[in-house]
Amino acid sequence: MLRTVLLVCLLTVSPLLVAEDRPNIVWIIPDDMSANFSCYGETAIQTPNVDRLAQRGVKFSNAFVTAPVCSTCRSAFITGMYQTSIGAHHHRSGRGELKINLPDGIELVPKLFQDAGYHTSITGWPLNGKLGKTDYNFQWDKSVYDSNDWATRNEGQPFFAQIQTQGGKLRGKDAEGWEKVSAAAEKTLGSRTPISDVRLPPYYPDHPDLLRDWAAYLDSVRMTDVMVGEVLARLENEGVLENTIVLFMTDHGISHARGKQFLYDEGLHVPLVIAGPGIPAGTVREDVVEHIDIAALSLAAAGIAIPDSMQARDILADNYTPREAVFAARDRCDETVDHIRSVRTQDFKYIRNFLPDRPYLQPCAYKDAKAILIALREEHAAGKLNDTQALLFRDVRPTEELYDLKNDPHEIHNLAGDPQFAEKLSEMRQRLDVWMEETGDQGRRAESEQMYDSDMKVYTDRLSLPKFDPKQLQTVQKNIALMKQWASEGK
């Protein structure tokens, strides 16, 4: 195939001599967004630019992140490693006095591109003169990025560019944010998403705040699609689109009660669309893939050797053997301590809760400040939620959860205690055990109190600044005390 021939040629010649002939690589990665694009079956809105990108290349229907929160997810894909293998599994960790260093031999993807003669950049969109979002949970050298714009590269130099955008964060946390993004969509696209078009998953009630929030979220998807169109237009205007591999993926699913920070598909399933030279147009892949794989496939596309230690796989390779399963982990998020692992195949999801004596919706200042969480808690307190909607309000969790995804795509009916699925439960349990052992899951050891305190000090010091409401600091401090109390109780 064309791609194979190209790579063989590139690998047999000095990278610097053929640099200008190699494809550019562009990653477009929005925050907090599930696969709510029309090419993925979303019917309430249209996303023509992402759809066209999919028509030009390959769409992965079953792409999943290995972590449902930004810093752990980003730490994973920028190294091509499971965050649990490199000690980056706690959200926004290593930010205080105590630091986290990558294991020997692990390099950041942009450094590997730099070493091969590529210009590297990371930016937000629209361009604002600053580096874009990184949020890595370890010490790293900013020099791995040459600038915030590929325009600063040398003439003829290929480039690796990361474009970060707010995505689902555009809708904010309450009515003010909802109105802002919906008004922007109306101004740019001539309309806003009607609340009447919103269809919530069955585990959420049709509460006015949840419906309006979801409509605003869909408008954030539309505005993200506009941004994708702007990036593609710039590449085309500069005459480099045909020699550029464009990859579109989000950093995890929608920030909602059962999405971000949880290991259900709402938090893990993401869009992944890739188009460019050597990639057959109009291709749809149904096999399960992991978001860390973008590291390996990007290096391979540029003719750069994939490090032997890298856990990511080149899922575009001619000799690629599809994964049988994908894995994910959730650990501490901000002040809230948790420890969950999952394994997913095409047909089944297995989740293990290592802290089953804690409630699903533990106190978390970040999530609890959202209007949708406030509404859900009020509905639950008033006894207005049905059994499915009340699942997240259980005070304890089962140690194991097993879902038949073909018949239960919303992961509502836990089959872990059903004798008919005992064999499947055993199989999935073993898959997870083997993965944790083989990948050196560092979450098997609890985060030290010293490291927790180090990162919490950064968090509370920030909230002590005059621009923040003192109640926010008080809430976080209360939650920190509760986390320590539960830990002391063995909970």
Indicate if 283 and 399 belong to the same structural domain.
Answer: no
Could you tell me the sign of the dihedral formed by the alpha carbons of 372, 374, 378, 381, in that order?
A: positive
Last residue of a domain, one of 316, 351, 375: 316
Final residue before a domain boundary, out of 316, 345, 367: 316
pLDDT given at position 3: 43
Q: Where residue 358 sits, what CATH number does that domain have?
A: 3.30.1120.10
- 488 part of a folded domain: no
Q: Which of 281, 316, 351 is the last residue of a domain?
A: 316
The label of the residue with tokens 């609340």 reads 195
Is 465 inside any structural domain?
no
The answer to whether residues 8 and 86 belong to one domain is yes
Same-domain pairing of 348 and 200: no
pLDDT tens per residue, range 205-216 = 999 999 999 999
- Tell me what pLDDT residue 264 has: 98
Residue at 469 is within a domain: no
Tell me, yes or no, whether 312 and 382 share the same domain.
Answer: no
- Do 291 and 397 lie in one domain? The reply is no
pLDDT, tens digit only, all 491 positions of the chain: 334 333 433 443 334 334 458 999 999 999 999 999 999 999 999 999 999 999 999 999 999 999 999 999 999 999 999 999 999 999 999 999 999 999 999 999 999 999 999 999 999 998 888 999 999 999 999 999 999 999 999 999 999 999 999 999 999 999 999 999 999 999 999 999 999 999 999 999 999 999 999 999 999 999 999 999 999 999 999 999 999 999 999 999 999 999 999 999 999 999 999 999 999 999 999 999 999 999 999 999 999 999 999 999 999 999 999 999 999 999 999 999 999 999 999 999 999 999 999 999 999 999 999 999 999 999 999 999 999 999 999 999 999 999 999 999 999 999 999 999 999 999 999 999 999 999 999 999 999 999 999 999 999 999 999 999 999 999 999 999 999 999 999 99
Residue 102, domain extent: 2-316
Name residues whose C-beta falls within 8 Å of residue 393's C-beta, 6 or more positions apart in sequence: 359, 360, 361, 380, 385
Tell me the pTM.
0.95
Q: What residue type is assigned to position 380 of the chain?
A: H
Q: Are residues 164 and 235 in the same domain?
A: yes
Q: What pLDDT shows up at residue 16? A: 39
Q: Strand, coil or helix: what is 414?
A: coil
Can you read off the two tokens belonging to residue 261?
């920070």
Residue 369 lies in a domain: yes
CATH number reported for the structural domain that contains residue 268 in this entry: 3.40.720.10
The token pair at 467 is 């621009």
Q: Is residue 462 part of a domain?
A: no
What pLDDT is stored for residue 262 in this prediction? 98
The total number of residues shown for the chain amounts to 491
| DSSP class per residue in 73-109 | HHHHHTTTS-TTTTT--STT-S-SSS---PPTT---H
**Per-residue tokens: 58:** 């390959």
Instruction: Give whole-number Cα distances, 480 to 4, 137, 447, 474, in Å.
Output: 53, 20, 14, 10
| Structural domains counted in the chain | 2
Q: Say yes or no: 288 and 402 in one domain.
A: no
Give the burial string for 126-139 (b: 16+ CB within 10 Å, else e).
Answer: eeeeebbbbbbbbe
* 373 shares a domain with 267: no
DSSP annotation of 123: E
3-state secondary structure 346-374: CCEEEEEECCCCCCCCCCCHHHHCCHHHH
* H helix runs in 139-207, sequence order: 175-189
267 and 191 in a common domain: yes
Residue 388 and residue 263 share a domain? no
* Domain-located, residue 234: yes
Which residues have CB under 8 Å from 353's CB, separation 6+?
Answer: 339, 340, 397, 398, 399, 400, 401
| 60 plus 201 within the same structural domain | yes
Q: Where are the beta strands (DSSP E) in 323-443?
A: 326-330, 340-344, 348-353, 400-404
pLDDT in tens, 140-197: 999 999 999 999 999 999 999 999 999 999 999 999 999 999 999 999 999 999 999 9
pLDDT at 20 (0 to 100):
58
Indicate whether 276 belongs to any domain: yes
On whether the CB atoms of residues 134 and 111 are closer than 8 A, the answer is: no
Q: Is residue 22 part of a domain?
A: yes
Residue 238 and residue 373 in one domain: no
